[in-house]
Structures are given as C-alpha cells and as structure tokens.
Structure 1
Amino acid sequence: MSVNACKNSALIINGGPSPDKRVLDFLPKFDEVLAVDSGFDSAISLGIAPDVVIGDLDSISTNGLETADKQSIKIISFPKDKDESDLELAILHASKSCTSVTIVDSGGGRLDHLWGVFSAMASDATSMITCEAFLGSSYVRLVRDHYIVKPLASNLVSVFPFGGVAEGVSLSGFRWNLNDETLKPGSTRGLSNEILENFGDISVRKGLLLVIQSGLY
C-alpha cells in the first residue's frame, strides 16, 4: 500500500501497553495504519501490518525497529524534546490525507498519557475530520456538531464537555434528554445516561463533547 496515496480512514495504534485482541471485533475498515512508537510492537501482536511508524522512537523495541526497517515501512522520527505528543503528531499526519481517524490504545499505563489521548483527540488536527478511539474496553467519540450513537455492549452512554463550555447540547432517545442546554467543565450531569431506543441523537452548537461507551468486553 502506498502511504502517499489519498486515504479515507486511518487506524492509529498508540504506544504503551498492548491492547486486548478483542478490540479487533469492533474496528472499522481502514485504509492506512500508523503505529505510534511502540504501537508498532502492539500492531504486530494484533496481526495488523503498519504502513507508517511515527514518533520519537524511544519505546519501540529494537526488534520492532529492525523489522520496520527490513520491511521498508516508512519511519517518521521526531526529537524527544517537542511540544506535541507522538499521538498528536500521528493524528496531524493522518489528517492531511484522511477524513476519519480511529485510535487504539490499551487504556492502561500512565493516567497522564490517557488524558493526553483525550487532548490529542480534541486538537486542531481533528477539526475537519472524524475522530474516535477504543481505549481498553471503552469506545470514545469526539463530537463537534452532531452524532448518532447506537448501543454497543450495553445502553450506557456518558457525555462530557471537553476543553471548555459546551453550548446548545441536545440529547434525544435517552433516558435523560437535553434540549439546547449548556454543560460546563466539571459537571457530571452527562454521566451514565441510557439509550432507550435503537439509537440516541447527540448534538452540540458550540464546543466539544466526549461521548463514552464502556464495557465493550
């Protein structure tokens, strides 16, 4: 696969502990695979062949780096001292040719790294693309305008404002609906809602929402 060709969707395997293989049952179709540093080792363990390795290469295994080199996989390296995380750089790279990005992360490891995943999802690089993530056994979707959510393993859905106030938030098809309301940072009002129908409708006029569905497996 040519990494320079125009793509529609990118799968990003993040660094850190390897994800559970059961995540494979939930992944959408993808056109390009980016491995973030040691995410290359995780991708191989999942049976996924990366097209690109990106990051400061401080955590990929020696064997993994040698394998990537032998297979002529494109390697995009950055210095360790930088302003962006490796994941944010991967999203930025993918956004140049893709309309959607799916991130896979174990959801374990350091808490600050997990928060960094949320922050990278909400970066300017995703302003014109769809961004979702499988974090451990949870599915996370960044919503900038409108999203139709369907039940996965359960009907539970949590909705949080992210990065500031979310205005004009409306939910329909849920146990607790909202109509053009404001959600402020620090509010847990959107925690543990339930889809009552075949799908739930979520919209926001201004700001960002993180929609989280847990317990996939």
Structure 2
Amino acid sequence: MRTSNSDVLSFHLGRWQLTANNLWGNPSILLIAGGQAPSVEWLAQISPLFQEIWCADSGIEICKKAQIIPHRLIGDSDSSSLEGRAWAEENGVRIETYPVDKDYTDLQLTLKRIGETYPDAKVVITGCWGGRLDHTWSNIYSALWAQEWNVHVVSLCDHKEALFLLNGPDKATFHFELPYPNVVSLFALDEKAEGVFIRGTHWELQNVLLKITRPYAISNRLKKDYLQVDVDKGRLAVYLYWAE
C-alpha cells in the first residue's frame, strides 16, 4: 500500500472513524440537503462536530424535525414549507433566497456560497440520498464540481449510506464500530482510476485499474473491523451501506 507525507484528516462520525491523506484538515461544515432525511438520532449525534450547519432549501425541514438550528438557509423556496421557513426566521437563521428559474440546483448554490464565504472549506453532505436517480447523480457530481468553488466535500452520508471521495494520489483508512457496513463498493468517478488497492475486505484488490464504464468492484464485504483504500491517479468513490 502506498504511503504519503501529506497532511492527514482524522475524524469520527457515527459508526466509523476515517483517517485519510490529502484532505487538509477536519470537516468544518455540515450541509443538509433536501433529500431522504437522516435519522434524528444520527443527526443529533454528529451535528455538534461541525463549526457551522448550512441548509439547501427543504433541508430546513430536516433541521426543524431534529430541532437543530442551522446557520444559513440557501435556495429558491420551491420545496421548503412556509412553516419551515417561518421556523428558520424565528430562530435567526440567515436566509438567502434565489429565483426558481436559475442555472444551479439548490445544493450547488449552497456549495458555491460556502466556497465564497469560507474558501477551502471541508464539507460533509447529508440529506442527499433517496428519491430520483437524477438528483442522486447530480448530488455526487456536484460534490466533485465543488472543488472548482474552493470546497472539498469529504463525504455524502447519513445513518445507513456513506460515500467518500478520494482524489489520487490519495489513501484512506476506516475503523468501524458495530454494526459494520454490510456492503463496500468502489467506483471510478473519472474515466479511470489507476493504482487502486483495497484491503480488509473479502475480495482485495492490488494495483488495479478501475474504469467508469466497468463498475465491477461492488458488493464487497468486510472481513475485519477496518478498511484501507488507496488510489494513485484519478477520482475514486468509496461507498458503504448498512442494512436496516
């Protein structure tokens, strides 16, 4: 497994702990999007770990249900309720409203505004799964696009799904508490990801080439309480899934 002298990120979130190179510091912002809501218990557990919480449009409904007051609410108000926005106003949330007819999605606008406000911010996105495939696809690639806005998205995750973004040369080590994830999958996010290693799983890979059009490295499973992933070149997604 390749080693690196880069700065190291190490943080604990829910049932896993991540140590990774090339991520330059701990995540500071939790971005709550308007997709499938994470469990209230999970959100209450992880929200104190962040310096600020931002919402994309109907993400405010998730905050309201969990009684977690975000710092900012960004969006066009087409999917958030009047009650949700009124609750935000009553609690002093800074609200930025945009036209419904716009070039960016609410999530993209929020990532863009984070980059303008806090250059080089490290972000974890939740409320990003479920529903329509085009939304999920857009959310994943918006997280990659955010690098152009000086934002580094570390993970898109909730209480049962987590996707981590590695950009080679990069490496990550995960340490898990029970219950362990049931599924471990790898996806190339560029045309190809080169020099891919995975260890701690039933099927291990050593210095392989993964192509975006040949997604075979899925449905793997842990054989230990840790996972090591390494990519030499290209962008790679590490996906974890916990069954109900």
Shared fold (TM-score, shorter chain, > 0.5): yes
Q: Tell me by how many angstroms 1:59 deviates.
A: 1.2
**Among 209, 212, 226, which residue is 1:182 paired with?**
209
Residue 185 of structure 2, aligned match among 158, 168, 178:
158
Q: What residue in structure 1 maps to residue 164 of structure 2? A: 141
2:155 alignment partner in structure 1 = 132
How high is the TM-score relative to the length of structure 1?
0.84
Aligned length: 211
**CA spacing shift, 1:163–1:181, aligned 2, 3 Å:** same
Aligned 8 A contact 2:202 2:221 in 1: yes
Q: Distance in 1 between matches of 2:53 and 2:137?
A: 22
State the superposition RMSD in angstroms: 2.5
Q: CA 1:139–1:16 in 2, change beyond 3 Å: closer, same or farther?
A: closer
Query: Quick one: distance in 1 between partners of 2:159 and 2:103?
Result: 26
Aligned to 1:4: none
Of 198-207 and 29-38, deviating more is 198-207
Does residue 214 of structure 1 match 2:241? yes
Identity rate, percent: 28
Matches within 5 A, 1:45-124: 45-95=65-115, 96-97=117-118, 99-105=121-127, 107-124=129-146
Q: Is the contact made by 2:64 and 2:87 (CA closer than 8 Å) also made in structure 1?
A: no
* Residues 69 and 91 in structure 2, CA contact (< 8 A), matched pair in contact too: no
- With over 3 angstroms needed to count, the CA separation of the structure-2 counterparts of 1:106 and 1:204, relative to structure 1, is closer
Deviations along 1:169-195, whole A, 9 cap, x unmatched?
122233222222210013232102223
- Paired residue type of 2:192: V
Is the strand fraction higher in 1 or 2? Answer: 2
* Secondary structure of the corresponding residue to residue 46 of structure 2: coil
Distance 1:130 1:108, change over 3 A: closer
Residues 198-209 of structure 1 correspond to what in structure 2 (within 5 A)? Answer: 198-209=225-236
Q: Partner of 2:32 in structure 1?
A: 13
TM-superposition CA deviations, 1:116-162 (whole Å, max 9, x none): 22112221437762421225621111111221123353253111111
What is the SS of the residue equivalent to 2:104? coil
